[in-house]
Structure formats: C-alpha cells, structure tokens
Structure 1
Amino acid sequence: MTQERPNHTLRIAALAWPMLIGQLAVISNGVIDTAMTSRFSATDLAALALGASIYISVFVGLNGVLAAISPVIGQLFGAERYDDIGAEVKQGAWLAVVLTLAGCAVLLFPQPLLSLAHASPQLSEKATLYLRILAFALPATMGFRLYASLNTAIGRPKMVMSLQVAALALKIPLNALFIFGGFGIPAMGGPGCALATGITVWMTFIIGFLILRFDASYRDFRVFGSGFVLPRWTAMAELLKLGIPMGLSYLIEVTAFAFMALFIARLGDTAVAGHQITANFATVLYMLPLSIANATGTLVAQSIGARQPDVARQVGFAGIRLAAVLSVTIGCIVWLARGLIVRAYTPNEAIMAMALPLYAFIAFYQLFDSVQVTTAFVLRAYKVAVVPTLMYAVALWGIGLGGGYVLGLDPFGISPAFLKGAAGFWMGNSVSLAIVAAGLLWYLRIVQRQVGSVTPSSAG
C-alpha cells in the first residue's frame, strides 16, 4: 500500500498542473486589475476592491451550485456510462440559465450591499458601474464554467487551460486601453477592468462552445445530436440537492473575505487598499491547493464510479498531504519575500505600510486553507456537502468574520493594539480556517467508514 501512494500523488499532479496554470491565468486577471488600477488612482483601487468583493461573492456562489455537475459526471465517467453524461450537461445548462438570471439581478442592483461599506458617493458610483458591466458578462462566464466542469470531470483540463491563458493575454492590452484610455476611448479607471473582462469571457465561451460542438472526442457523451431537452425536475433536484450546499459553502468562504473588505473600508481608502493587495495575493496562492483539490476530487469521483472505494480513500489522503506540504513551503517563501511582493503591487508607501503586516497571516494560514479545501473537494466527490457547509457557516461567519469584527473594529474596547484594524480580521479568518480544516478531516473519516463499498447517492 505504501508503494501506491507515490503513484496516486503523480496521478494527482498530472491532472492538477494544467488546472493550476488555468486557475492562475484566471486569478491573474484580478492581479492585473489591482496592479494597473492602483497606478490610476487610490480611489479607483478602493472602488475596485468593493466591486470585486461583491462580484466574487456572486460569481463563486453561483459557480459553486453549478459545480455540482462535476462529481456527478465524474462518477458517470468512472462507471463508463458515457451516454448519460450528455443528459447531465443539458440539465446543467438549464441550471446555468436560472443561476445567471439571479446573479444578474444582484449585479445590476448592488446598492444594498454597497451601503454596508459606508462608502463615499464617488466610490459607490464607480463600484456600481463596475458591477453592472460585469452583469452582461455573467451569461458567458457561467456557460464557460459548464464547459470547464465537464472537462475537469472527465480528466481533460488542458484545453480549458489553453483558453484561460489566451484570455489573459488578451486582457492585458484591453485593460490598459479601457483603464487609461486611448484611440479616442476615454479613461474609465476601475470600471474599465470590467469591460475588458466582459470581452474576454464572451470570446472564451464562444470558442469553448464550438470545440464542444465539433470536436470528435466529445461525441461519445452525446451533448449534441440527441435532440432538444426540456428541464427534468428530478435531475435538476438532484443537482440542486448537492449544488445548493456546495454553492453556499463557496459563498460563505468568499463572503467572509468580501465582508472583511466592506468593514475594513470603514477605516479609510488606504486601509482597504492595503487589505486588497494582501487578499489578492492570498487568492493567487490559493490556486495551488485549489488545483490539487480539483484533481483529487476528480480522481476520487471516478474511483467511486468504478466501485473502487479503497483507491478513492488512498487518492483522497494523497491529495490532502500533497496540498498541505506544498502550501506550507510556499507560505514560508512568501513571508521572506513579502517586501518585494507588495512593492510589485504598488509604489504607494502608505498602502505598502498597511499591507506588509498582513503578510504574516499568509505565512501560516496556508496550511489550514490547503487542508480544508482539498478535504472539502474529496467529500463532494462522495456527494457529501450539507454537513461541511454547516461547518463553514459556523466557523467562517461566526468565528472568522464575527471574531474579526470584534478584534479589528474593537467595538468593546478589548482588542490588543496589534490586532486593531485589518490585522484583527485576518486573525479571525485564520483561526476559523484552522477549525474548518480539523472538522472536515474528522468528518471525512466518518464518511469513508460509513461508505465502505457502497457509494452514497445524495448529499449528506
């Protein structure tokens, strides 16, 4: 058994590396937005921080629900039930339409969420324009996510990676054009990032759709050529039964960061800009354990579908170990290089002074973050999502955000000086991630003992 572990690790790595490159390309859009907007104005950077925190919450929550299709397809692929995959993709497309309509409503009318930040009228106006532009990009974003989920579930992430890298290459000149203006186009500042994003996501969606339609390697799945299909409520209910708790868990995790930005905005533009730089880089680092988690979950789901529970268990723990070891190593490197990293984001000395102390949290919370996300994806491969979502809610919202509010804004006058401000929110978030990681590992062992040779058919 000990000799099999390196093989599982190599299988995970072979599937994870294109996912990592693709995810880094996607998250680099945010890095580029932050770096370029910071050179336009501090006000636009603060507006970007507010707008992006709301958009990411919407995007991740909706994508979390749609991601329910991945473990379903993964198990069908492992069981070699290829004809059923196309039917699931079509039901996923209907689900994507419903989710897109809901997401657009939030993005077009974001004032209730923006009001929590007590932002100036100028900040609110820029953040609103940013979000409304992204509302028109959301249909393409959700469509491409469906294509990416299919490819991930069947272990073909390289084409998705290629499209994501190409989109990044296009995004850079478009960002420069719309943020700073040129060729008769006025400078838009932060909202220009949203317009550049909209153009790139529609292009990647159209190309992905054409590949799925005409590439012969997808024909066995019968996504096309099997006729128009109306929504089947039994299939939709199965997806939602797994997808709603998955989406909520994503939403809880991301809104913990989003509300951090909204509360920190009360401390001023410089404070929220420093937080944005730190949070943005933390998101970049998160792509490594996320890619390992995706790859691990895919292989676990395929093993479950093939009725190989022992292999599923071995792959799951191999992925968790790999993510933990790599994340701790990178966290230490980041701590040593924190000065260079922050200076690469911004030349503003005041923003740098706000951001540098926060990098201490990145150095040690990487372990907790990598363990929790990989374990969560393994549980989703077993179609288990309800209990993990409850853990996320209690820990990230209650302990993380609630504790961060008490420490950072110090409404009761009990917070130590070194934790007042943004540092208090980062401490609360770090502690909550440690609790979630421990809780998910404990629950995974319970699920694996219960499953044995029987695969659960619904979320639990």
Structure 2
Amino acid sequence: MSELRTIARHAGTVLIGQLAVIAYGVADTVIAGRVSPQALATLSLASSIYISVYVGLNGLIQSLLPIWAELRGAGQYPQIGQSVRQGLYLAAGAGLLGIMVLCFPDPWLLWTDVPPALWPEVHAYLQVLALALIPSLLFRMFSTLNQSLGYPRLVTWLQAGGLFVKVPLSASLTFGLAGMPALGVVGCAWATLVVNSLMLLTGIWLLHTQSIYRPYRLWLPLEAPHGPTLRRFLRLGLPAGLSIMVEITSFTLMALFIARLGASALASHQIAANMAGVLYMIPLALGIASSARTGYWLGANQPQRAREAARTGLTLAAGMALVSACALWLAREPLAQLFTADPSVALAAAVWLGWVAAYHLTDAVQTVCVFLLRCYRITLAPLLIYTVMLWGVGLFGGYLLAYRGLGPWAAQPTVGSFWLTSFAALAVVALLFCALLWRAVRVPPAASDC
C-alpha cells in the first residue's frame, strides 16, 4: 500500500473520531445558545479555561506517540507495554496538576476582567470538568497507543458511539427532559463526565480482551517509576505539551479578553471558535497519521521512507485546508444562523467565520509540521516560536489593538482585532515550522534532537 493511501486511511479514521469529539462541544454550544446569551457566554468562558488546561496536558500524553511508533517500527513489542505502564505515572501527575487548576480558576477570571455575574456558573462548570479530567487523560493515552500501533479504528468507534450518549444527555440535563433535573448549562459538563468515563471503561475492557494487544504484554505488573524512561518522556513531552498549551491558550484566551465586550460579542466569537475547532480536526488527524508513519520508519531505520511520509502528510494537509477554507467562506452566513436564534449574534459571527477561513489555511500547515517535528525530537524551538508569536504577537497584539491601540492604529474594540493579529502571527509560525522541518529531514534523527 502506498504511503499516501496509508496516511489518508489512518487520518480518515482518526478524523471521524475527532469530529465526533468536536461535535460534543458543538452540540453543547447549540444547546447553550438555546438557553440564553449568558449561558453561551458561560460555556465559552468555562470551555476556554478547561481546554487551555486539558490540551496542554493532552499534548504531554500525545507526545508519547512517536516513541511507541518507533518501538513498533523496531519490532520491540514487549518494550511498548513497559513504556505504556511508565506512561501511567505521567498521566497521574498531569491529572492531579490539572484538577488543581480547574478547581481554583479565580486568577484566570480576575486577570482577564470577566464580569462577576458569570463567575458562579463558570465555577460550577469547571468543578464538574475537574472530575472528568482523569478519565479524559487516560482515554487519551489509550487513543495515543492505538494511533502509534496503527489501530485508530477502535478509538473512532468509541468516540463516535459516545456522541449518541453525549448529545441527548446534555440536552436532558440542561433542560430537564425525560424526568431529569434541569441543571442549566452545567448539565453539559455532567454529560461530559459520564461520556468520558464510559469511553475509558470500554477502552480498558478492549485492552484486556482483544488479541491484537497481546504481543505488547500490557498487563504485566506495574513496575516502579523508572527514572531514565520518565525523564525521556518529560524531555519530549514537556516542551510538546507547553507548545500545545501556548498554541491553544493563544486561541482560547481570546474568549476571556473578549468577555469585556459583552455577552453578545462573546457569543458570536464562540460560534467562530467552534467552527475553527471543527476545521482543526482535519490537520490534527493528518498530523497524527503522518507522525505515526514517520516515527515507524525512523524506528525501522529507513529515513528516506520517513521523509516520504512527512512530505505526504504535509501536502495532504495543505490541499485539504484550501478546500475547507473555501467551503467555510461560502457557507459562513447560514452556518452562523444555525448556531443562534439572535440575529445580531448571527450577523457578527458570519464576519468572524470569514476570518476563521483565512486562519485555517495557516493553522493546518503548522499543525502537521509540529507533529512531524516531534518525530525528529525537535520540541524546544517550536515552543519558543509559539510563545513569541502566538502569545506575544497574536494574543497580546490583539489585546493592544482592541483596547489600547497598536502603533498608528487607534483602539478597535471588536472581536475582529483578535482574529486579525492571531492570523498574522500564525502565518509566520507556519513559515518558520516549514523551515525547521525542511532542515530536520535532511540530517540524521539523532542530530535533530532539540
């Protein structure tokens, strides 16, 4: 089978599952939008904080993918099981850290001047999601293992199946349907906890019963923490996790800064943010698939095949991004109306969706690049680039343009100020990452360590 078909099939399977997961958030947005603009604003704020925490920790877990893919490529199957068991210590530490942050979000809310009227519901929402964090991270570990082994289909089935539980349960708990208590927008958080727990329990059952996992000897007794292994995880995982946290927070913290513009502005931004999240799933799936193949060939000591896999994944991402951006641009007005019954919110959201189309073109390229760079152990340089460009130019630049003025431009207190600076910053990031990847594939992997 050609590299193109292998990556496309792997990415397509991952994409279905990732779209199911993003549909959880889209469904919650639609449900909250039917409650009130304030409920949608609460969801936007709470989700921004949760995603900022979860995605950084998720990146720490996801960074194990090239390690396990290389072990598979080298035929070292029992070592995969040992590595997975050591990874449990990593997940436990990450989960405890995340719970502490979610249970005490006041510094975030104070720093970004979130209106006090929204604090109680934001607190209630995040406390429920703190309970959901451990099963979420452990299921991500199950997902990463399957992706590294070339078995994404089992993960996709679970994620797609969870959608059939998540949507009706969110609606029932929010509005009090089917005899359930009406919990308001916090009902969406309880539904998330239930679905994440069910998916994790099913994943554990599959690991224990399916014969495809037997060569990896996953169920041997848990060893004591192994310092060299954990340090290797952290050398790769900490910069990778921090990079993703910077990338996502530069996006999600926009909602916290936009909150001072009012509930309607925040609601319109949430619609645009959800569509950006949907489109992001395509390069994310391609990044996972192409990095799994690149890591496999590096483990098999075939760098030329690894370069082919990297080039194929990046080309697919650029082509798909162009198609997706054009489709969003043409459908931006009816899409905005689908999310909300408020005409003013829909009108504003349609404008921001135009920015999302442009944003996605650069986002797709840099997303696949950063996954591939991890295969070559290049993680520190992306972290530095993300920090300077996305936080410095994108987020802080948007804040200045919106509220203080930037250079010759007077303050423009609109959502568009943030989308403009974020797009410019991400375009530079994409160019720099392409240059790093171009260099990495031309030197031996060990020499690319960074």
Q: Same fold (TM over 0.5)?
A: yes
1:77-226 maps to which residues of 2 (within 5 A)?
A: 77-224=72-219, 226=220
Identity of aligned residues (%): 39
- Mark the runs of 5 or more structure 2 residues left unpaired by the alignment: none
8 Å CA contact 1:68, 1:240 repeated in 2 = no
SS of 1:159's partner is helix
SS of 2:3's partner is helix
Asked if 1:327 corresponds to 2:321, the answer is yes
Distance 2:110 2:175 in 1: 28
User: Hey, what does 2:425 align to over in structure 1?
Assistant: 432
Name the aligned partner's letter for residue 231 of structure 2: A
Distance 2:76 2:378 in 1: 21
User: Hey, what does 2:345 align to over in structure 1?
Assistant: 351
How high is the TM-score relative to the length of structure 2?
0.97
Q: Which of 244, 249, 261 is the matching residue for 2:243?
A: 249
Distance 2:447 2:188 in 1: 42
Distance 1:446 1:457 in 2: 11
- Mark the runs of 5 or more structure 1 residues left unpaired by the alignment: 1-5
User: Hey, what does 1:443 align to over in structure 2?
Assistant: 436
User: Hey, what does 1:267 align to over in structure 2?
Assistant: 261
8 Å CA contact 2:275, 2:356 repeated in 1 = no
1:63-82 maps to which residues of 2 (within 5 A)?
A: 63-82=58-77
Q: CA 1:457/1:172 → structure 2, altered by over 3 Å: closer, same or farther?
A: farther
SS of 1:137's partner is helix
Name the aligned partner's letter for residue 438 of structure 2: R
Q: Which of 435, 446, 450 is the matching residue for 1:456?
A: 446
Cα RMSD (Å) of the superposition? 1.5
User: Hey, what does 1:9 align to over in structure 2?
Assistant: 4
Deviation at 1:420, TM superposition (A): 4.2
State the number of aligned residues. 450
Deviation at 1:250, TM superposition (A): 0.6
Distance 1:96 1:262 in 2: 28
User: Hey, what does 1:287 align to over in structure 2?
Assistant: 281
8 Å CA contact 1:45, 1:273 repeated in 2 = yes
Distance 1:413 1:459 in 2: 39
Distance 2:262 2:274 in 1: 18
Distance 1:93 1:243 in 2: 14
Distance 1:181 1:223 in 2: 42
Once the two structures are superposed, residues 75-134 of structure 1 have per-residue CA deviations (whole angstroms, 9 ceiling, x without a partner) of 000111101000110011111001000000011111111223323333111011000001
Q: Which of 202, 221, 224 is the matching residue for 1:227?
A: 221
Once the two structures are superposed, residues 35-58 of structure 1 have per-residue CA deviations (whole angstroms, 9 ceiling, x without a partner) of 111001111110100000000011
Distance 1:228 1:413 in 2: 58
How high is the TM-score relative to the length of structure 1?
0.95
User: Hey, what does 1:278 align to over in structure 2?
Assistant: 272
Once the two structures are superposed, residues 276-307 of structure 1 have per-residue CA deviations (whole angstroms, 9 ceiling, x without a partner) of 10011111011011101110010000010001
Distance 1:283 1:102 in 2: 25
Name the aligned partner's letter for residue 210 of structure 1: W
Q: Which moved more, 1:180-189 or 1:318-327?
A: 180-189
Name the aligned partner's letter for residue 8 of structure 1: E
Q: Which moved more, 1:253-262 or 1:419-428?
A: 419-428
User: Hey, what does 1:403 align to over in structure 2?
Assistant: 397
Distance 1:352 1:261 in 2: 17
Distance 2:79 2:124 in 1: 42
SS of 1:56's partner is helix
